[in-house]
A and B are shown apart, each in its own frame.
Chain A
Amino acid sequence: MKFKTHISVKSLSVWYGQHKVLNDITVDIPDKKITAIIGPSGCGKTTLLKSFNRLIDLQDGVKVRGKVLVDGEDIYEPKVEVMDLRRKMGLLFQRPQVLPMSIYDNVAYGPKIHGIRDKKQLDKIVQRHLKESSLWEEVKDRLHGPASKLSIGQQQRLCLARGLAVEPEIILGDESTSALDPMSAERIERNFLELKNKYTIVLVTHILRQAKRLADYVIFLYLGNLIEHGPAEDFFSNPKDPRTDAYINGRFIEEIRK
């Protein structure tokens, strides 16, 4: 099966100070599909994800070698406008990070900082994206209440709406259902499935079942190295690397959890 590529990673290596976090990763992320990045904790999954929107730039002493091409252009070229790049991607964190403002202002934050001032336009944007993340019905009567008062599942859907409000092309999720109760987690997963026809979605997850449920394409990282990747069906039924086989069948010795 041939996929159209949206993000193309070429020989990417990332260091935080002396510590090499990602080692020579080369992989293509297919367009308008759900890609899952899996692997044991601490193996660089989040780093790979955050290298797509250059959030890793925030770390002290970060060094990047290699290329990440989005729509054909290397995003690590000095002339790239980082803010525009980040606008193209929405990021959901593990713990929902609502901004300290009202529900309405949370969703309107993105468009506002990119210059949209017209109230009518903003109203439309807020409504549209709250509907897109299935939150509209629950909050339409208290749009100007504080976002912090929402339940954790609602907060994550709010973050989704907020991310969608800047009209991205790519949605990134970093363990975005791990902190939620099962019902809310399921809702978010359903959202992802509905959205994948419009957006390219990349999800980091340590829940194998979730990867099996959602992914069209799977990437397996271990200790910063790319072990295996491929279309989900082939990946789960016919893993080529013995380590992959061990991991997806639960025979991996997990590191001691903190």
Chain B
Amino acid sequence: MDKRKIEESIFKFFMIFSAIIVVGSLVFILAVIFWKGISALNLDMIIKTPKGGYYLGKEGGILNAILGSLVLGIGATLLALLVSLPLVFYLNLYLGKDSRLAATVRFFLDVLWGIPAIVYGALGFTLMVFLGIPASLLAGIITVALLIIPIMSRSMDEVFKMIPFELKEASLAMGATKLETAIKVVFRQALPGIVTAVLIAFGRGIGDAASVLFTTGFTDSLPYSLFKPVATLPLAIFFQLGTPFPEVQQRGYAAALVLTAIILFISILSRVLSRRLTRHVIK
């Protein structure tokens, strides 16, 4: 009897230990980024673009990267939404629960979700060459959109699956077409889930470097054209850390803090919005 209790206590200890390590890692990461980044962060960094010699330690800021990332992120998210939303509607509203097509699509969405970002980047590069687009905001938007379609679709799908069948039935029974049911009834019910999915995908999109490495190029200027290169925060961080100058590296830490802050903000925003919007939803 005692032996069993001892074994249980040992494993319980390991479990709590593991959980602490996992949670502690996040705390550790946030603490390190915050602590190292805050010292180099000043107002200039956020509101100015790099002047000449920025990467050698001269003055300027990372506004180019901040705006570049935001524009890229919003563009990619919108493009991905254009694909994901109809797709998920189709899976849930038009195809039945036992549809093989739906199961296949879901399976491949999961597979696509697991393909590394660098492969999407390589694909984007191939597309660029094929279509004759230069390294630019547009190329980046297309590539990142492809990257985040799986995660956006999966998240939305989870929400749509939970919508009670009776709701759809009730609408169809009144003579509405499937499309109308989709737009007027299901959409509102699924809105919190859609918002969450969009925000999650956005967060993923702006944080990724591997997919934009080949496709967006880099520039010191603010984004002004779809066909010109654009700066992104992940790449800005990457390049700044790659220089041998400590002052520039410090700026890299600050940029990392800015990026993390944006992602944290989005995460909290999505939780808050989801809770707010769920108030209007029928359970």
Contact = CB atoms under 8 A, between A and B. Distances in A.
Q: Do chains A and B touch in the complex (CB under 8 A)?
A: yes
Contacts of A115: 1, 3
Interface residues of B, number: 3
A25 B3 CA distance: 38
Nearest to B5: A83
A83 B2 CA distance: 12
Interface string A80-95: 0101000000000000
Contacts of A81: 1
Interface string B164-201: 00000000000000000000000000000000000000
B65 to A, nearest CB: 48
Nearest to B4: A113
Contacts of B4: 113
Interface string B1-38: 10110000000000000000000000000000000000
Chain B residues touching A, majority SS? helix
A115 B3 CA distance: 10
A113 B4 CA distance: 9
A83 B1 CA distance: 10
A83 B5 CA distance: 11
Contacts of A113: 4
A83 B4 CA distance: 11
A166 to B, nearest CB: 14
Contacts, number: 5
Nearest to B3: A115
A113 to B, nearest CB: 8
A115 B4 CA distance: 9
B11 to A, nearest CB: 15
A251 B1 CA distance: 51
B165 to A, nearest CB: 16
A117 to B, nearest CB: 12
A144 B4 CA distance: 26
A46 B104 CA distance: 42
Nearest to A84: B1
Contacts of A83: 1
Contacts of B3: 115
Nearest to A81: B1
Nearest to A114: B1
B120 to A, nearest CB: 40
A255 B1 CA distance: 46
A83 B3 CA distance: 14
B84 to A, nearest CB: 35
A115 B1 CA distance: 8
A81 B3 CA distance: 15
Interface string A103-135: 000000000010100000000000000000000
Contacts of B1: 81, 83, 115
B93 to A, nearest CB: 26
A84 to B, nearest CB: 8
A12 to B, nearest CB: 28
A245 B1 CA distance: 49
A83 B8 CA distance: 13
B164 to A, nearest CB: 15
A113 B3 CA distance: 11
A99 B3 CA distance: 23
Interface in B133-171: none
B8 to A, nearest CB: 11
A113 B1 CA distance: 9
A179 B282 CA distance: 34
B241 to A, nearest CB: 48
A202 B1 CA distance: 28
Interface string B211-229: 0000000000000000000
A70 B3 CA distance: 26
A81 B4 CA distance: 13
A115 to B, nearest CB: 8
A126 B3 CA distance: 24
Interface in A191-232: none
A81 B2 CA distance: 12
A113 B8 CA distance: 13
Interface in A61-96: 81, 83
A83 to B, nearest CB: 8
A189 B157 CA distance: 47
A211 B3 CA distance: 43
B12 to A, nearest CB: 16
B1 to A, nearest CB: 8
A140 to B, nearest CB: 31
A216 to B, nearest CB: 35
A105 B1 CA distance: 20
A35 to B, nearest CB: 30
A81 B1 CA distance: 10
B236 to A, nearest CB: 48
5 contacts: A81-B1, A83-B1, A113-B4, A115-B1, A115-B3
Interface of B: 1, 3-4
The 5 closest A-B pairs by CB, nearest first: A113-B4, A115-B1, A83-B1, A81-B1, A115-B3
